[in-house]
Structures are given as structure tokens and as C-alpha cells.
Amino acid sequence: MTRKLAITPRAAQEVRRAAAAGGAEGLGLRVAAKREADGSVLLGIGFDDERSNDELIETAGVTLLVSHHSRDLLEDMVLDFVAPDFVVLPAPPEDAA
């Protein structure tokens, strides 16, 4: 079973901090993914308004916006913050402690 994109507490805290510092409160955080010709995945992250084809993921006090174009590439992934960057990593197994 696949899971929606998740976010770590550390990343959620950084999203809230960045939104406050940048005057982006009330906007969602768009997480976009695109597969390149070489098979790698290009990620884009930024504050944005909701669009009609977005999946909204409300978690840890933030709203993640994922378009239907990015949904498959971001399933079973977790957004984390490792200073100074956000990273997207595979989610740990559900039965992991």
C-alpha cells in the first residue's frame, strides 16, 4: 500500500519559520517532482496557492500541495530538512519503531 507524502517535525518547523519570515503564512508548500531523461528526479519546493488539480496534505501544522503530475513520484516519501536544504527521502517502513 502506498502512502502520501509525509513531513518530519523538523521540516514542518522550518516550513512554518520560512513562511513567517517570508510573509507566506496562509500559503501551502508546493512539492513538485519531475523525472529527468537520465532517470533522476528533479524536485521543486516553494510556497504557492492551491490549484484545482492539487492534492492537499494537511500534516504537522502545514499544508503540502502536490499536483497530480508529481503524485506518483512522491508517494512513500518524506520531506525532511537538513540544513540548509529540504530533502525528500524514502519513508521508513510502517512497522519501523
| Chunked mean pLDDT (size 10), the chain, 97 residues | 86 96 95 93 94 92 94 94 92 70
The model's pTM: 0.87
Q: Cβ neighbours of residue 80 under 8 Å, at least 6 residues apart?
A: 7, 8, 10, 11, 86, 87, 88, 89
pLDDT of residue 46: 95
Q: Using CB atoms within 10 Å of the CB of residue 18, give its burial: 0 to 12 exposed, 13 to 18 middle, 19+ buried.
A: middle
Q: Which domains does the chain have, with CATH numbers?
A: 6-90 (2.60.300.12)
* 74 neighbors 31 (Cβ within 8 angstroms): yes
